[in-house]
C-alpha cells in the first residue's frame, strides 16, 4: 500500500508517478532572439546537474532576465544532462572531453567560444576545475574578474577580500566565479535547453607540459563524511552491521550513523551525523533504522533527497523522507545486496 502524504489520502496509487516533466512541454519558455547571451559553465559530472550547477544557471537566469531586451542563458557542460531546461538553460553546448578534461586545453577552446559568441557574462563555480579555468581565462583575456562572489544582483556583485574583513563590489563584470549556496537556483517555467550543435567545443588540446595524467575517483568508504555526496547511515534499528557495511560498499556510499550507534561503539565517532557530529553536504541521505531526532535531522538539513527504512510509520525520519519504506532494515538490507549483486552479472 502506498500513502500519499501530499494529498492526505490513503489508497492505492498506480505506476511510478512523476511523469509531469513531459507534460510540461507546452509551457516551455522560449527565447528566440536574445539581445545578449550569458554562458554558464557547469561541472555536471556523470551527466547530472548538482545543486551548485543549478545555482550557476540561476545566476545566469538572473543576469539574462534583468538585461534590456532579454538574454539567453547558454549552459556549457561536458556531456548531456537531464533537467537543464528546468534549471533555466535556454541553450546548451556539449563541450565533450570528459568531466575533468585538461583545463589548460579547455581554456583555449573556451577562448575560441568567447570570440564566436561574445557573451555578456561568463559564470563559473568557485570549485576546483571551474575556478582554475575562470582564472586562466581572466589572465588570457586581460579582463577583470570577480572571484568567489557571495552576493549577486543584476546591478552588483560582491566578494569578500582581505581575509574576510573587507569586501569588493562593483557592477557584475564579464567574468565571475560564484560561491556555493549564494545564488538561488531557478524555479520558474522550464526553459528550452536547445542543443547548439555548431559550437560544440573540442577540448582535445592538452597542456603540453603534462606528460601523463590519470584520474583516481574518490573512494566513498574512506571519504570524509562532510565531503561525501551520498551517505548511508545506521541507527538503533540496525543490528546486522556486517550487512550494513557490505551495503554501504555496494551502494558506493559513505557510511554514517546516529549517535546511539556511535555511543554503543558499533561505529566510529567520526561517523556520527547530526548537530554534535558532522553536518552533511550530501545530496542524498539513506537512513536505516533512524528515528530522526531533531539533533540528528539538523545534520541532514541540507540533504536534498532522503530515503528512510524504518519499522515505524510515525518516525520523524519517515516524515522527512522522499521515499520511505516501512519495513525491517534487517530484511531490506539483504534484499538490496542481492539485487545489487544481480546487477553485476
Ligand X SMILES: Cc1cc2nc3c(=O)[nH]c(=O)nc-3n(C[C@H](O)[C@H](O)[C@H](O)COP(=O)(O)OP(=O)(O)OC[C@H]3O[C@@H](n4cnc5c(N)ncnc54)[C@H](O)[C@@H]3O)c2cc1C
Q: Which does 82 bind (CB under 5 to 8 A by kind): another protein, ligand X, none?
A: another protein
Q: What angle do CA 257, 261, 264 make, to 5 degrees?
A: 150
Instruction: In angstroms, give the least distance from the CB of 331 to ligand X.
Output: 8
269 makes contact with ligand X (CB under 6 A): no
**SS3 per residue for 29-54:** ECCCCCCEEEEEECCCHHHCCCHHHH
Q: Which of residues 256-315 bind another protein (CB under 8 A)?
A: 281, 283-284, 286, 301-307, 309, 313
Q: Which of residues 297-336 bind ligand X (CB under 6 A)?
A: 299, 309-312, 315, 328-330
Q: Which of residues 70-129 bind another protein (CB under 8 A)?
A: 82, 100, 103-104, 127-129
DSSP notation for 274-340: STTSBPP--SEEEEES----HHHHHTTTT-SEEEEEES-TT-HHHHH-SEEEES-HHHHHHHHHHHH
Q: Which of residues 144-183 bind ligand X (CB under 6 A)?
A: none
Q: Which does 189 bind (CB under 5 to 8 A by kind): another protein, ligand X, none?
A: none
209 makes contact with another protein (CB under 8 A): yes
Beta carbon nearer to ligand X, 177 or 258? 258
Cα separation, 238 vs 232, in Å, equals 12
Instruction: In angstroms, give the least distance from the CB of 317 to another protein.
Output: 11
Q: Which DSSP state fits 270?
A: G
To the nearest 10 degrees (0 to 180), the angle between helices 241-250 and 329-344 is 40
113 makes contact with ligand X (CB under 6 A): no
Q: Which does 152 bind (CB under 5 to 8 A by kind): another protein, ligand X, none?
A: none
Pairing of strands 194-195, 91-94: parallel
Q: Which does 72 bind (CB under 5 to 8 A by kind): another protein, ligand X, none?
A: none
Q: Which does 29 bind (CB under 5 to 8 A by kind): ligand X, another protein, none?
A: none
What string marks each residue from 206 to 245 as x (binds ligand X by CB under 6 A) or -?
-----------------------------xxx--------
290 makes contact with ligand X (CB under 6 A): yes
Interacting residues of 145 by C-beta distance below 8 A, sequence separation 6+: 134, 135, 137, 138, 173, 175, 176, 177
Q: Which does 233 bind (CB under 5 to 8 A by kind): another protein, ligand X, none?
A: none
Cα separation, 87 vs 191, in Å, equals 8
Q: Do residues 28 and 84 lie in contact, with contact meaning Cβ atoms separated by under 8 Å? A: no
Q: Which does 1 bind (CB under 5 to 8 A by kind): ligand X, another protein, none?
A: another protein
Q: Which of residues 132-161 bind another protein (CB under 8 A)?
A: 132, 135-136, 138-140, 144-148, 150-151, 158, 160-161
Torsion angles phi and psi, residue 256, rounded to 5 = -135, 180
Strand, coil or helix: 26: helix
Q: Which does 313 bind (CB under 5 to 8 A by kind): ligand X, another protein, none?
A: another protein
Instruction: In angstroms, give the least distance from the CB of 331 to another protein.
Output: 4
295 makes contact with ligand X (CB under 6 A): yes
* Residue count, binding to ligand X (CB under 6 A): 28
For residue 121, the cross-strand partners are 38
Interacting residues of 78 by C-beta distance below 8 A, sequence separation 6+: 43, 44, 45, 94, 95, 96, 97, 98, 99, 101
Pairing of strands 254-257, 166-170: unpaired
Q: Do residues 142 and 93 lie in contact, with contact meaning Cβ atoms separated by under 8 Å? A: no
Q: Which residue from 28, 293, 307, 337 is in contact with ligand X, where contact means CB under 6 A?
A: 293
**Which residues contribute to the site for ligand X (CB under 6 A)?**
235-237, 258-261, 272-277, 289-291, 293, 295-296, 299, 309-312, 315, 328-330
Amino acid at each position: 500500500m502506498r500513502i500519499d502524504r501530499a494529498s492526505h489520502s490513503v489508497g492505492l496509487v498506480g505506476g511510478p508517478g512523476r511523469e509531469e516533466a513531459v507534460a510540461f512541454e507546452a509551457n516551455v519558455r522560449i527565447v528566440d532572439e536574445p539581445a545578449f547571451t550569458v554562458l554558464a559553465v557547469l561541472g555536471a559530472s556523470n551527466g547530472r546537474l548538482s545543486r551548485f550547477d543549478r545555482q550557476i544557471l540561476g545566476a545566469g537566469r538572473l543576469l539574462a532576465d534583468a538585461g534590456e531586451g532579454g538574454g539567453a542563458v547558454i549552459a556549457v557542460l561536458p556531456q548531456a544532462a537531464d533537467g537543464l531546461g528546468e534549471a533555466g538553460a535556454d541553450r546548451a553546448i556539449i563541450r565533450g572531453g570528459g568531466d575533468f578534461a585538461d583545463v589548460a586545453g579547455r581554456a583555449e577552446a573556451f577562448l575560441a567560444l568567447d570570440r564566436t559568441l561574445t557573451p555578456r557574462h561568463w559564470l563559473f563555480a568557485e570549485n576546483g576545475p571551474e575556478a582554475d579555468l575562470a582564472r586562466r581565462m581572466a589572465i588570457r583575456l586581460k579582463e577583470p574578474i570577480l572571484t568567489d562572489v557571495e552576493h549577486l544582483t543584476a546591478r552588483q556583485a560582491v566578494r569578500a577580500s582581505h581575509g574576510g574583513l573587507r569586501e569588493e563590489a562593483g557592477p557584475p563584470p564579464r567574468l565571475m566565479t560564484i560561491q556555493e549556496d549564494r545564488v538561488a537556483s531557478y524555479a520558474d517555467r522550464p526553459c528550452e535547453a536547445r542543443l547548439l550543435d555548431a559550437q560544440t567545443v573540442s577540448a582535445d588540446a592538452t597542456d603540453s607540459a603534462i606528460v601523463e595524467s590519470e584520474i583516481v575517483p574518490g573512494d566513498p568508504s574512506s571519504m570524509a563524511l562532510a565531503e561525501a555526496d551520498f551517505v548511508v547511515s545506521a541507527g538503533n534499528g540496525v543490528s546486522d552491521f556486517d550487512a550494513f557495511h557490505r551495503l554501504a560498499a555496494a551502494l558506493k556510499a559513505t557510511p554514517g550513523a546516529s549517535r546511539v550507534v556511535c555511543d554503543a561503539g558499533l561505529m566510529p565517532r567520526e561517523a556520527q551525523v547530526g548537530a554534535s557530529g558532522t553536518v552533511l553536504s550530501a545530496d542524498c541521505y539513506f537512513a536505516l533504522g533512524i528515528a530522526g531526532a531533531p539533533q540528528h535531522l539538523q545534520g541532514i538539513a541540507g540533504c536534498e533527497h532522503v530515503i528512510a527504512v524504518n519499522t515505524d510509520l510515525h518516525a520523524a525520519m519517515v516524515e522527512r523522507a522522499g521515499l520511505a519504506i516501512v519495513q525491517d532494515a534487517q530484511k531490506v538490507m539483504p534484499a538490496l545486496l542481492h539485487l545489487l549483486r544481480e546487477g553485476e552479472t
